[in-house]
Homo-oligomer: A and B are copies of this chain.
Amino acid sequence: MKFIPGFNDVAAASRLITPFLNHTPVITSRQLNGMAGGELYFKCENFQKVGAFKFRGATNAIMNLSEVERSKGVVTHSSGNHAAALAHAAVSRGVRAYIVMPETSPEVKKRAVSGYGAEITYCKPTLEARESTCAAIMDRTGATLVHPYDNFFVIAGQGTAALELLTRWPDLDVIIAPVGGGGLLSGTALAARGVNKKIMVYGAEPEMANDACHSLKAGRIIPSDNPKTIADGLKTSLCERTFGIISQNVTDILTVSERSIIEAMLLIWERMKIVIEPSSATVLAAVLANKELFRGKKTGLIISGGNVDLRKLPFNEIP
């Protein structure tokens, strides 16, 4: 049994990291309320630093390093939002960040991570290469590994988004967050249950990467095998730590089709005028596909981030 955070750890994270965060807005939309038949409160982490909630967990991990650990730096392997978040959180607090990225990562992500001042090491695009490169850096530098979700302080930090939402709107009946590796959903569940034992907590997961749904039903971890989904932040599978928290604190996992993710993303861009990434759209997709669960209720939705490759959108093809 790994060491598991609780509500107090989320509350402690909130006190510690709030000065370094953007206080992200909670947005509502009459039109989307009408479609859902209930009240929806969107906590918009697309406006968080580095464009994603991941900055919360990364900052909490950095703030909890010992003096000796700080002096040796942190390391992670990721090509996504966690890499940028750890790089920015570490370097802006005077800590070195070593980021292992597959050499095939998009240029824009490489530039973002190096722009935050991290030291990038490229490796082959396989899990073995990423882990062995990471291990070699730890051997050489003594840097502390900060895993994107299998980490006590990261999970507690991710829960602070829900805690802020519930501080503003304490009478929510339901809260829903996307689930990939489970860091955000675990933190969200800990925050929500700590504020209100009766609150319903749902995870929203792509059908095409539904390991959390399978694992909860089976009572053991059944990882996804190379899943394909537009929700690129949700391809990872649960670990023991997040599986434990989620099985004890989450009401259910709602899976959503690729089409419904895209339709929900379009709705949010069109009606709310905000840029969100596909992973974030899973929560509205789940609400609209399961109206009986949310009708007449006050539901909080965690919008996880807004990092999407706009250069693939057509407005840059116009002269």
| A interface, CB within 8 angstroms of B | 25, 46-47, 51, 230, 258-259, 262, 265-266, 269-270, 273-276, 278, 306, 308, 310-316, 318-319
Contacts and interface: CB of A to CB of B under 8 A. Distances in A.
A242 to B, nearest CB: 27
Given A273-B47, A274-B275, A266 B315 contact: yes
B314 A313 contact: yes
Given A273-B47, A273-B306, A313-B313, A230 B266 contact: no
Contacts of A276: 273
Contact of A265 (B262, B311, B315): B315
Contacts of A46: 273
Nearest to A25: B25
A230 B318 CA distance: 8
A273 to B, nearest CB: 4
Contacts of A273: 46-47, 51, 274-276, 306
> Which secondary structure dominates chain A's binding surface?
helix
Given A273-B274, A275-B274, A262 B318 contact: yes
A45 B44 CA distance: 18
Nearest to A27: B47
Contact of A319 (B259, B269, B275): B259
B269 A316 contact: no
A32 to B, nearest CB: 14
A178 B46 CA distance: 27
B318 A315 contact: no
A228 to B, nearest CB: 10
Contacts of A310: 266, 269-270
5 cross-chain pairs, A with B, having the tightest CB-CB distances, nearest first: A273-B306, A273-B275, A313-B313, A46-B273, A269-B275
A230 B258 CA distance: 31
A314 B259 CA distance: 14
Contacts of A274: 273-275
A128 to B, nearest CB: 30
Residue in A25, A270, A319 with the greatest tally of chain B CB atoms within 10 Å: A270
A53 to B, nearest CB: 13
A245 to B, nearest CB: 29
Contacts of A25: 25
A297 B276 CA distance: 31
Nearest to A271: B51
Contacts of A259: 319
A71 to B, nearest CB: 28
B275 A316 contact: no
A275 B314 CA distance: 14
Given A274-B275, A275-B275, A313-B314, 5 more contacts: A25-B25, A258-B319, A269-B275, A269-B310, A308-B315
